[in-house]
Structure 1
Amino acid sequence: MTLDPIQIASSWLQQYGDFLKSGDVKGTVSSFQPNGFLRDILVFTWNNRTLNGHEKITAYLEDTLRSACITEVELETRRGLVPELSGFNAQMISPVAETVSAGFTFGCKVGRGQGYFVLIPTEAGEWKAISVMTQLADISGHEEWILEEGIYGGHTLSWTDVNRERREAIEKNPYVLIVGAGHTGLNLAATFRHMDIASLVVESNLRVGDNWRKRYPTLTLHTPKVYTELLYQSFPRTWPLYTPRDKFADWLEQYVQSEDLVVWTNSRPLPGPTFDITSRRWTIVIDHAGQPVTLNPAHIVLAAGAHGEPNIPVIDNKEAFDGPVVHCEDYQGAKPFAGKRVVVVGAGNTAADICQDLSFHGAESVTMVQRSATCVVSVTSVRQMLEPLYHENLGTEVADFLLMAQPVGLLQQKAKQTEALLVEQQKETYRGLREAGYHLITDQSLFSLFYAGYGGYWFDVGCAELIRSGKVKIKHGVEVTRLENNSVVFTDGSFLEADAVVLATSFKSIRDKMRGIFGDAVIDQTDPVWGLDDEGEIRGCYRPSGHPGLWFAAGEFYVSRARSKQLALEIKAIELGLLKLCRATQDAGSLSAARYPMCLGLRVRDGQLQTLPGGG
């Protein structure tokens, strides 16, 4: 019998919507499979949560469903979100053939929401949700705007004058200070602008995009162009499939101009910011091109990436080494290393690219020091995984929404189902790598590694073949312990003769870097940045950090785009008084501060919710 996805989706949503509107928790939960997921972003609480199974969903909704005031639940009509049979998201979730998925819209207490569900049949043939996502889309009266008319004062004012006045007003009194003008900081600034949140970005480099220009010259993004776009702007049709370093840097620079963002380059926060709990404002001094400027923003967003300063391992006797020892941040190409014996410490994306660069440009020998096992995925496989969703006909906005609709736990389950297929596709590559002494991770998904630590993998664009052929040698399972004048000594007592060492050893946490600016008393109140919490949500980013008015934003292109609106809505809600700042001083186990973002003057201390003096 031919299934009708519209009829199935409509029937399920009608019943589910009635349960939501009436505040019927039991009925709402009955619409899920026993192992179903509810992912909620700012609808039932001012946070992002993922609940798995009837018991946890029930506990979550008991105190939140009625107060959310859900109304007008309707099927989506936008392209890519209409009901479909065995669509992309359904395939990502379940191996069964019969799946129905669709988007929907609804009203809620503070505005409009959007959602997505995936249904699979029970053994009795009844359609139930394996996954539902609800997300606040806009706050009523403060909706995100896309374009303005471009005519000012009835044709009496020039855009140049209007733009200058807007910029000057923001520079004098920004509501939000964003630290970092990489893709994350700029995505945030653009979103804030379209939400009428006055934001100023400070960037330590002389030019926007220098954080990319300063990296190794052969750097090219390993994900296709649609996946790597910024908010509101698509790349030109003629843009390369994989974006080169300098081309992307220049794109960031033009993005600031075309999106009318206010960015101070050659600027950085100085140590000692303070937060006044009464005025709800920071006092922070910015070194703006050598001049101290005091600002009083309500919020500071640290968007300098998930990583901060270079992670330099402790190596004894470095001063005795005759050649250069450089971190990958300072590596500017292989030409100076031609004819030299180079040891590259690290086995991630950067290490693989640098080894390939060194080999091509005539290094006498290249050895990769692989300290622990690594996942290797060909760039072709990455493209095949992304292109069913990220393609020009659908657009990044809908694609991001569809991917956001999938709880990480479900993505990990699906990834486990496809691990064997991925290993089979790359078995010859893997065989050659193992024969060369390279140790592989094949029992953890790329999703798990990315969300757990932002590393432990690399996308192969040619280095694997160099390893297989012996042009890049492998030294596995050891650390560099000391240097001699012309050799690298390892923890197992072995050594390699070397003329140069490149440390592709990643970066420290931005949270740790900011201790030097904000101090331990502030940073110790914040949650760790990156990794997953016990619900499968990213820790510490785009959600309450634990300290009022201080936020972290990090992640690659999809995370940065998809989460920017969430942070904008949280900050707008605080500005409007819908959400009061919560000074959470501890994560008290099951009573985590992050679980109560809607609190009005509450904190978590010693496992108990407490009222703050002065109401928060």
Structure 2
Amino acid sequence: MSSMPEPSTVASEWLSAFAHSLATKDAEGITSAFLPDGWLRDILVFSWDNRSLGSQSKILPYLKNNFKFVNISRIALDDREGLSPRFGPVTPSQQGVSAGFTFATNIAWGQGYFHLLRDENQNWKALSVFMRSCDWRGHEERRGEFGMYGGHTLAWSDVLSRRRLETEESLLAVIVGAGQVGLMIAARLKQMDIPALIIEANARVGDNWRKRYPTLTLHTIRTHHQFLYQPYPKNWPLYTPRDKLADWLEQYSLSQDLVVWTNSNILPTPVYDDREHRWTLQVRRNGAISTLRPRHVILATGTLGDPRMPDLPGQAVFTGGTLHASQYNGGHQYAGKKVVVIGAGNTSADICQDLVFNKAASVTMVQRSTTCIVKLESTKAELERFWPEGRDPDVSDFIFSSIPLGLAKKIAGEPFEGKWAEERKMHELLRERGFSVHLGENEVGNFPMVFERLGGYWIDVGCADLISSGDVKVKQGVEPTSFASSALIFRDGSRLDADIVIFATGYHRMTQTMKKVFGEQAIDRTGEVWGLDEEGEIKGCYRPSGHPGLWYGAGDFYNARFSSQQLALHLKAIELGYVNRDKPKERYTHQARL
């Protein structure tokens, strides 16, 4: 193989040819810039949706069908820190060149990123290219303010009060839920001049975290779970505890000047007016009823809805206690008790560990199927590759997003020396205790499960050792079917004596919960929320839901930071008349506006 040229030279030459094909709308030329199995990921550039096309045979017709709507120009390498051309690993087994670039369309400023590998003829071709719209031209996202108002004659408290009143009076969007997703969506909309109000059922912002079990700590590193526009202080813990996170949410809502109604609920059943393109919402706030008329409602109550609590026969005769994991408030009250925990995910592992520490008489985890377990250290190393300390989080999110999830899953399955070595040792010890454990489909770890299921795995912070030592016992592969007076009965006729049964059995889908408020007819129009579609894009979230004026925001901190921009652009495009308000995946026919 010939010696490696300068990454900037490789990137510049490849992008020059790619840019010429884009500018001349040469779909064949663009497609030839990819490897045969290369990927194109597009967010709001060639279509009004997010798409991932995995192979030349899919990229070519996609471009031909959509080029007539888009003119692309001003293509240039991005020389900002973290995005300039570099040479390094693209896959576990292949080195290549990666670089960012910028461009413009007839209505947008855009940003792109590509990963190049040599083909069999030693020519540089794209394994993947990511292109997205970042701003609508002339309607760009606002940055910071000068900070002196009215020529230094107005007090900030008066400015803030006026702005809150104006937001409520000119309301365009209502966001349901003041968790991290709802708050970051609201912060993004504010910077895009989209008046938005958050409706939160709890008494305080952050209570959705304060009410969870006391030892809860995020198992992702702080650079991954930081907030839009507002990173944590440098001395923030690497893994954030429950109460620090709850207080940060509350502080974030204040520092970002968000309008939040706490102690508030939307009453059944909102009505959407197809002629006026507005919702009518009745909101109970601190006991009083208000009527709101937003154009858009964004459901950000969490990907998961109400707790899933099995209704087992015999519970009335059971002399012990039962509760869902969402009600668990620490293991101190269960000292000396025989505790059974149903479920084998992250929450179950944390609760079992807490119960052992607080000296429960016995702790048994009921594992009904099988679980993917990875070590905390492995997760940390993987996250640090994409979200290293000191790098702009916008850059980290963008680079992570540049690999389509379908391609990322394929790359994650590639073998390399020493892969999962520590996990395999841990798994052997767990299997000796009767625990069923795996490393995911094709041994890719828990990565796909985060986007496909939001469950079925745990990141180990100590419970695996407790199972190995026998401090946490395991009952595997059998469902509980009923209660006796002092025991839980299983399908195979076996029983477990118990004083307390904790159901770490997860949650219903958000769509099921929202049917109680918005009605089945409205929610059924929106389809599935979360999981991956046939192209590897997340279903239903931050993209048109199927019901005009109804949107979903869900996922983790990265999803909220990155995809809130896509959602804001959708809403802005509808208000600007770029797309059909009733069918926001469709352009209007009068292309002069574009």
State the shift of 1:340 in Å.
0.4
Question: In the alignment, what sits opposite 2:47?
Answer: 45
In the other structure, the counterpart of 2:536 is: 536
- Kept after mapping to 2: 8 A contact 1:419/1:442: no
**Matched residue type, 2:412:** A
Counterparts in 2 of 1:176 and 1:418: CA distance versus 1, 3 Å: farther
How far off its partner does 1:532 sit?
Answer: 0.5
Q: For residues 171 and 457 of structure 1, do their structure 2 counterparts lie closer, same or farther at Cα, with a shift above 3 Å needed?
A: same
Task: Give the CA deviation at 1:542.
Answer: 0.5
Q: Is the 8 A contact 1:316 1:482 kept in 2?
A: yes
Q: Say if 1:37 and 1:438 are closer, same or farther in 2 by CA, change over 3 A.
A: same
Aligned amino acid, residue 405 of structure 1:
S
What is the rounded CA distance, in whole Å, between the counterparts of 2:77 and 2:240 in structure 1?
A: 37
Secondary structure of the 1:86 match is strand
**Code of the aligned partner of 1:549:** G
The count of residues paired between Structure 1 and Structure 2 equals 584
CA distance in 1, matches of 2:142, 2:312: 53
Match for residue 362 of structure 1 among 359, 362, 369: 359
Once the 2 structures are TM-superposed, how far is the Cα of residue 421 of structure 1 from its aligned partner? 4.1
In structure 1, distance between residues paired with 2:40 and 2:406 = 11
Q: Residue type of the partner of 2:579?
A: L
Q: Which residue of 2 aligns with 1:56?
A: 58
**Alpha-carbon distance change, 285 to 173 in structure 1, aligned in 2, over 3 angstroms:** farther
- The secondary structure found in structure 2 opposite 1:155 is coil
Instruction: Give the superposition deviation at 1:202.
Output: 0.6
2:202 aligned residue (180, 190, 205): 205
Partner SS, residue 225 of structure 1: coil
Residue number in structure 1 paired with 2:592: none
Q: Structure 1 residue 6: deviation in Å?
A: 0.4
After TM superposition, give the deviation of residue 447 of structure 1 in Å. 2.0
Q: 1:525 to 1:12 in 2, by over 3 A?
A: same
Work out which of the residue numbers 319, 324, 328 in structure 2 matches 1:322: 319
Q: What SS is found at the alignment partner of 1:502?
A: strand
TM-score, with structure 2 as normaliser: 0.97
String of CA shifts for 1:518-549, please: whole Å, max 9, x gaps: 11111111120111000000001110000000
> CA offsets, 1:35-55, max 9 Å, x none?
000000011111100001111
Distance change (3 Å), C-alpha of 1:419 and 1:283: farther
Q: 2-side partners of 1:76 and 1:266: how far apart? A: 46
Alignment of 1:578 onto 2:556: no
Report the Cα distance in structure 1 between the residues aligned to 2:478 and 2:45, rounded to whole angstroms: 48
Find the counterpart in structure 2 of residue 604 from structure 1. Answer: none
Q: Which amino acid aligns with 1:570?
A: H
Match of 1:413, SS state, is: helix
Tell me the residue number matched to 1:415: 412
Contact 2:305 2:510 in 1 (8 A): yes
Residues 97-116 of structure 1 aligned to structure 2 (within 5 Å): 97=95, 99-116=96-113
Is the Cα contact below 8 Å between 2:92 and 2:416 reproduced in 1?
Answer: no
Using the alignment, how far apart are the partners of 2:262 and 2:415 within structure 1?
Answer: 45
Counterpart position of 2:93: 95
The match for 2:138 is 141
User: Deviation of residue 224 (structure 1)?
Assistant: 0.9
More off after superposition, 352-361 vs 148-157? 148-157
Letter in 2 for 1:95: S
Distance between the aligned counterparts of 2:500 and 2:168, measured in 1? 46
Distance 2:294 2:87 in 1: 48
Give CA deviations for 1:546-577 in whole Å, capped at 9, x if unaligned.
00000011001111111110000000111111
Q: Which residue, 278, 283, 306 being the options, matches 2:280?
A: 283
Higher mean C-alpha deviation, range 226-235 or range 311-320: 311-320
1:608 matched residue in structure 2: none
Contact 1:419 1:443 in 2 (8 A): no
CA 179–572 in structure 1, closer or farther in 2 if over 3 Å, else same: same
Q: Distance in 1 between matches of 2:406 and 2:299?
A: 27
Asked whether the equivalents of residues 41 and 135 of structure 1 are also in contact (C-alpha less than 8 Å), the reply is yes
CA contact (8 A) 1:178 1:199 kept: yes
Q: Does 1:334 align with 2:322?
A: no
The one-character-per-residue Cα deviations of 1:47-87 (angstroms, maximum 9, x if unpaired) are 10000111111111112124211001100011111000015
**Mind listing any 5+ residue stretches in structure 1 that lack a counterpart?**
584-595, 602-616
Is the Cα contact below 8 Å between 1:334 and 1:358 reproduced in 2?
yes
Q: For 1:125, what is the secondary structure of its paired residue?
A: coil
Q: Which residue of 1 aligns with 2:509?
A: 509
Contact kept, 8 Å, 1:6 with 1:84, in 2: the verdict is yes
Give the drift of 1:3. Answer: 2.2
**Hey, what's the Cα distance between the residues in 1 that align with 2:411 and 2:163?**
48
489-498 or 435-444, which moves further after superposition? 435-444
Aligned to 1:247: 244
TM-score (norm 1): 0.93
Please say if residues 93 and 416 of structure 2, whose CA atoms lie closer than 8 Å, have aligned partners that are also in contact.
no
Q: Could you tell me how far 1:418 is from its partner in structure 2? A: 4.5
Name the counterpart of 2:33. Answer: 31
Task: State the Cα distance separating 1:2 from its structure 2 match.
Answer: 3.3
Alignment of 1:469-484 (within 5 A): 469-484=469-484
Which residue is 2:586 aligned to?
A: 598
Q: CA deviation at 1:179?
A: 0.2
Distance 2:379 2:171 in 1: 40
CA distance in 1, matches of 2:82, 2:346: 33
* Cα shift at 1:333: 0.4
Q: Equivalents in 2 of 1:218, 1:420: separation in Å?
A: 36
Whole-Å Cα distance in 1 between the matches of residues 581 and 322 of structure 2?
46
State the one-letter code of the partner of 2:351: I
Kept in 2, the 8 Å contact 1:282–1:296? The answer is: yes
User: Residue 508 of structure 2 aligns to a residue in which SS?
Assistant: strand
Native 8 Å contact 1:105 1:115 kept in 2: yes
Would you say the 8 A contact 1:173–1:296 is kept in 2?
A: no
Contact residue 581 and residue 600 of structure 1 kept, 8 A: no
C-alpha deviation, 1:423, in angstroms: 3.0
Correspondence for 1:77: 79
Once the two structures are TM-superposed, the CA of residue 438 in structure 1 deviates from its matched residue by 0.6
**Conserved in 1, the CA contact under 8 Å of 2:578 and 2:587?**
no
Report if aligned partners of 1:582, 1:600 keep a CA contact under 8 Å in 2.
no
1:613 aligns with none
Question: Residue 297 of structure 2 aligns to a residue in which SS?
Answer: strand
Paired residues for 1:207-246 under 5 Å: 207-246=204-243
1:286 positional shift: 0.8
Question: Cα deviation per residue 1:346-402 (whole Å; 9 max; x = unaligned)?
Answer: 100000000000011000000001111110011111101111221222121110000
Q: By how many angstroms is 1:320 displaced? A: 1.1
Confirm or deny that 1:546 pairs with 2:543.
Answer: no
* Aligned: 1:524 with 2:524: yes
Question: Counterpart in 2 of 1:450?
Answer: 450
- On the 8 A contact 2:374/2:439 being kept in 1, the answer is no
CA distance in 2 between counterparts of 1:161 and 1:137 reads 33
Residue 144 of structure 1: SS of its match in structure 2? coil
- CA distance in 2: counterparts of 1:581 and 1:493, whole angstroms: 57
Matched with 2:422 is 425
Could you tell me how far apart the structure 1 residues matched to 2:534 and 2:581 are? 24
What SS class does the counterpart of residue 146 from structure 1 fall into?
coil
Mean CA deviation greater in 314-323 or 376-385: 314-323
Counterpart secondary structure, 1:74: strand
User: Quick one: which of 47, 57, 69 aligns to 1:67?
Assistant: 69
SS in 1 for 2:223: helix
Secondary structure of the corresponding residue to residue 522 of structure 1: helix
Q: CA deviation at 1:149?
A: 0.7
- Distance in 1 between residues matched to 2:497 and 2:181, nearest whole Å: 41
Are 1:463 and 2:463 counterparts? yes
- The percentage of aligned residue pairs carrying the same residue is 47
Task: Give the distance between the partners of 2:440 and 2:358, measured in 1 at CA.
Answer: 35
In structure 1, what residue type is equivalent to 2:111?
Answer: Q
Helix, strand or coil at the partner of 2:116: strand
TM-superposed CA distance for 1:267, in Å, is: 0.6
The answer to whether the aligner puts 1:187 opposite 2:184 as a matched pair is: yes
